Structure 1
Amino acid sequence: MDRRATLRAAAACALGALPAAGCDGWHVAPDGGPARSGAATPSGPGTAPSGPSAPLPAELSHGPRDRRAVALTFHGQGDAALVRALLGELERGGAHATVLAVGTWLAEQPSMARRVLDGGHELGNHTQHHRDLARLDGPGVLAEITACAGQLRQLTGSIGTWFRPSQTRHATERIRAQARRAGYPTCLSYDVDSLDQTDPGPAAIARTVGAAVRNGSIVSLHCGRPGTVAAMPALLEQLRGRGLRAVTMRELMT
């Protein structure tokens, strides 16, 4: 595709004139601006690990559709024994995941940060107290993000690459602005909701994910749920049967 055709395709994606599958790796930010698939290097306070080099949109809900991989992303809090069991199931299945940790959970269970990383998984930020960010003012949002970032930096030396707002699937402009100030230029959403937080049972969790997952999907799951732990073997087997690898967000986007 020549430069002129490439620019036309990008514009069409931004305007919604092309289906997502036809946008060749372009993802449209909530403000309508196109961004090429890749990873951002966060700026601002704290030191984030190097990530994909191309800029990402303000909110990311799906990875590249040409990747035979999916990202299992976990809202990180819960009983430490259940979280260890979950990580063990992932590792036995050859899977890596991204855990978006709640800061108060890390403060209570500081050893879990190292356990996540030692298993080849990835840690990110899911606010300090898991409050409804959409109901907070700007300073309140920033405080929630930076407090968790501080926990991550203290335990791992990095604030992490990914931030997921708590109690809202999509970040508001206020949340996105404060996340950028805290060093997270991209808010992480998802295109597949496992609904595991409703405790529907292991079979239902695996079935829900299996029915919706596609190349490049970002799946929302929760740590500390017995049904989620029990669902992992069947869920990972479904992914393998479709030729999909379960990888971290960093792996998905690089």
Structure 2
Amino acid sequence: MNPAMMISRVKTEKKAVAFTFDDGPNPIYTPQLLQIFGQTGGKATFFMLGSQIEIHPEVARAVHAQGHEIGNHTYSHPHLSRLSGPECLEELVRTEQLIVGITGTRPAVFRPPYMDYNEQTAAIALSLQYRVAGAANVGTMDWEQPGVDFIVDKTKETLRPGNILLFHDGFGDRSQTVEAVRRLVLELTSDGYKLVTVSGLLRLGEPEA
């Protein structure tokens, strides 16, 4: 197994998936998601931007206090392949330091903005001991606000145990995403799925790209 590969799922027979949220923390939508997961006892991973942690540290603290995972999504959401090595490292380290300030521990997982990932980024992620999270449901395109039904249906089309699921809680109106996640969380938990963090999912089986 390539330790620097971008992981979209793990091979497991256990009915478990990892909901993930990019681009927060957001003072409107992140708390709504926390309420949804609080009602079911599920956990999620929030890939946060350092710039947004600085603006909304109280929201990041609430995510951590409720037992969810905070992952690194860079400081300013750049295309990492367009940066020099030192610039890429700075994006990750600056955000890592902010996450440590909130949680007291280093983040274990990282997702590159735009899924823009090359050998240089892989080497830097590996040097920081990050596991790199992709997603199995990128066709949902929830960032485009395609409609609640579309987000739900596209996620369910690819659904299987071990999937990492991608959604967004920052940048723009995310009300469609919140409602789609509300429906998916209720349906999946009713169907016996366990909602776990990315790190929790990785403990269940062999990662797959």
Q: Match for residue 206 of structure 2? A: none
Q: Match for residue 185 of structure 2? A: 236
- Higher relative contact order structure (alpha carbons within 8 Å, sequence separation ≥ 6): 2
1:93 aligns with 2:31: no
1:187 aligns with 2:126: no
- Find the aligned partners of 1:67 and 1:172 in 2 and give their Cα distance: 32
Map 1:69-148 → 2, pairs under 5 A: 69-77=16-24, 79-148=26-95
Deviation at 1:238, TM superposition (A): 2.7
Larger-Rg structure: 1
Contact 1:133 1:175 survives alignment (8 Å): yes
- Find the aligned partners of 2:165 and 2:181 in 1 and give their Cα distance: 13
Contact 1:58 1:185 survives alignment (8 Å): no
- Find the aligned partners of 1:79 and 1:187 in 2 and give their Cα distance: 23
After superposition, the C-alpha distances for 1:139-160 in whole angstroms (9 at most, x for unaligned) are: 1111111111111112222221
After superposition, the C-alpha distances for 1:152-196 in whole angstroms (9 at most, x for unaligned) are: 1122222211011112x2521110111223x23422111222311
- Find the aligned partners of 1:231 and 1:130 in 2 and give their Cα distance: 24
Q: 1:79 to 1:117 in 2, by over 3 A?
A: closer
Q: 1:139 to 1:80 in 2, by over 3 A?
A: same
Structure with more helix by fraction: 2
Match of 1:202 among 139, 148, 153: 148
Map 1:150-169 → 2, pairs under 5 A: 150-167=97-114, 169=115
- Find the aligned partners of 2:130 and 2:182 in 1 and give their Cα distance: 34
Q: Which amino acid aligns with 1:247?
A: V
Q: Match for residue 198 of structure 2? A: 249
Contact 2:9 2:135 survives alignment (8 Å): yes
Q: 1:160 to 1:216 in 2, by over 3 A?
A: same
Deviation at 1:219, TM superposition (A): 0.7
Deviation at 1:122, TM superposition (A): 0.6
- Find the aligned partners of 2:186 and 2:130 in 1 and give their Cα distance: 34
User: SS at the partner of 1:63?
Assistant: strand
Contact 1:210 1:239 survives alignment (8 Å): no
Q: Match for residue 15 of structure 2? A: 68
- Find the aligned partners of 2:129 and 2:59 in 1 and give their Cα distance: 22
Q: Which 4+ residue blocks in structure 1 deviate beyond 3 angstroms?
A: none
Q: Match for residue 121 of structure 2? A: 175
Unaligned stretches of 5+ residues in structure 1? 1-33, 36-55
Q: 1:190 to 1:170 in 2, by over 3 A?
A: farther
Percent identity of equivalent pairs: 29
